Amino acid sequence: MSIEARLAELGVTLPDAPAPAANYVPYVIAGKLVHVSGQISADANGQIKGKLGAGMSVEDGAAAAKACAISLLAQLKKACDGDLTRLKRVVKLVGFVNSTPDFTDQPKVINGASDFMVAALGDAGRHARSAVSAASLPFGVAVEIEAIFELN
């Protein structure tokens, strides 16, 4: 099954790749690797803001991480000139969670992105990963995730 068909089965349509919010490029292709800049938690309704451990649930944080993953795939699609069949695998995700000092469930939050990548990409979605706390994130968003993808 193609990636686009799997996404459709999951009820996901990739949005246009978000424009950079500052002085950087959204992705860099180096050999067979695509390094995608951090994507902030945002959906069709706007930015998903909040702080884990201060009124935002782990489930809401995981949904924010999934939104980041969707943006990561949108950037990848743009980098591949619209051809997601070029994807070999997700190599690594690095997730940042806007959280209080005593919040320790960052891995559960970033699972929202990891679980989505596996659901959308199958074994090609399995990846190495980091999930870390941040005292704050740009625009007050809940989650930011960057990724490295390998192309065929």
**Could you say which of 3.40.50.2300, 3.30.1330.40, 3.30.70.270, 3.30.1020.10 is the CATH number of the domain covering 3-151?**
3.30.1330.40
pLDDT band at 21 (very low <50, low <70, confident <90, very high): confident
Say what the pLDDT of residue 13 is. 95
pLDDT tens digit sequence for 40-81: 999 889 999 999 999 999 999 999 999 999 999 999 999 999
Strands (DSSP E) contained in the chain are 27-30, 33-40, 42-43, 46-47, 87-98, 128-134, 143-151
What are the Cα distances from residue 83, in Å, to 43, 60, 86?
23, 31, 6
Instruction: Report the C-alpha gap between 36 and 52 in whole angstroms.
Output: 24
pTM of the predicted model as reported, rounded to 2 decimal places: 0.97
Average pLDDT over residues 120-135: 98
Instruction: Report the C-alpha gap between 29 and 46 in whole angstroms.
Output: 28
